[in-house]
Chains A and B, each alone.
Chain A
Amino acid sequence: MASVFSGAPPQGGPGYSFTQTPRAAPSGERQHGFYPYTDNGGSTLGISGADFTILAGDTRSTSGYNINTRYAPKLFKIGGEGPDNKGAQIVLSVVGFAADGDALKERLDTIVKMYKYQHGKNMTVSACAQRLSHILYNKRFFPYYVHAILGGLDEEGKGALYSYDPVGSYEREQCRAAGAAASLIMPFLDNQVNFKNQYMPGSGTGHNLQARQAQPLPQNDVEELVRDAFTSAVERHIEVGDGLQMMIITRDGIAETFTPLKKD
């Protein structure tokens, strides 16, 4: 019996002191039950013209079948002065995981503002576009889960539009749709902006048909196309709706418009 109540720590066991390091640690990889991404739905769209660029996005934010809010902008002015980006000449649109989108916007905005502060001149759209690609690629192995589109005017005053994948591949384009309804909007744009599958009437049959040449569209036509693209997307995609925000970048600055969309 004496050995049972000796009071001394058993041989080989841990001492009574809390500071003593324990012997056995739980081993084996623990499974992660946390997925750090979600999809907030919605769609964005950009079209560049001869002397303007239009970016557009719906304002619905979703989680699954829930509507978080009917007004959550996906378009952001980049650069300019102060928190309202006064005098900005670049617009960024992001669609996908909204929290990453906001984080990306804030990083690019600070960088463009710091550029002006350090160099005393505005960042060009092409420089900003390349910088955005680098920001995205810097998180190659934990990406910003967004499809970004950057719009502005190039050094010659022509409309400039850049589109990105989540890890930073980018390309300058005439038009691009992104997000939930991209697959619905993009072929419509191919047809109406780049005149794909359109032929000159009476130019022959079969392979003799002459393709209709694409040319930069006037601003009003493009605004109408954007509205049509979104009203159509609203009909067929449940994550798109509530409102349409547009930003039109010209040499006079950025004009912003809001058009209501169906809320169902």
Chain B
Amino acid sequence: MVGKDCVAIACDLRLGMQALTVSNNFPKIFSYGDVYLGLTGLATDVSTVSDLFRYKVNMYRLREERNISPQTMANLVSSSLYERRFGPYFVSPVIAGLNQTTGKPFICGFDSIGCIDFAKDFIVSGTASDQLFGTCEGLWEPDLVSA
């Protein structure tokens, strides 16, 4: 979610199989330097994809000698997912971060094959996305600050 000169990203810690809860400590947000990546969907793909991007982002840092920017990360995620166009990872990622040069908040979301949704306000993802859409659309306003 975008606020005044800030972004926020949050997830629950539940891991489940439909109605059955398997674990209460399964984080879905991963940090890649200046960028956060949230992953919902098939748990094995959440782990695989988060590790894949840790590898890719580390390689980027070694080659470029700088952190990856949220915008670049978005395009990296998109192209990486589209590589698997006909056998996709079952994840719907969310990215949040601040632009490295301007400091402007940046968020975006993807479908499982890499179509980017550049939203100005908020991105939701996962099994409760309908509910989150409702609450966000009802409570979000421009320039929110942290309490």
Contacts and interface: CB of A to CB of B under 8 A. Distances in A.
Contacts of A228: 138
Interface of chain B, main secondary structure: helix
Interface of A: 181, 183-188, 191-192, 201, 228-229, 232-233, 235-236
B135 interface: yes
A181 B134 contact: yes
B137 interface: yes
10 contacts: A184-B137, A186-B131, A186-B134, A187-B131, A187-B135, A188-B139, A191-B139, A232-B134, A232-B137, A236-B137
Contacts, number: 35
B133 interface: yes
B133 A236 contact: yes
Interface residues of B, number: 10
A27 B138 CA distance: 58
Interface of B: 130-135, 137-139, 147
B124 to A, nearest CB: 10
A201 B138 CA distance: 22
Contacts of A183: 130-131, 134
Contact of B135 (A188, A201, A235): A188
Contacts of B131: 183-184, 186-187
A187 B138 CA distance: 10
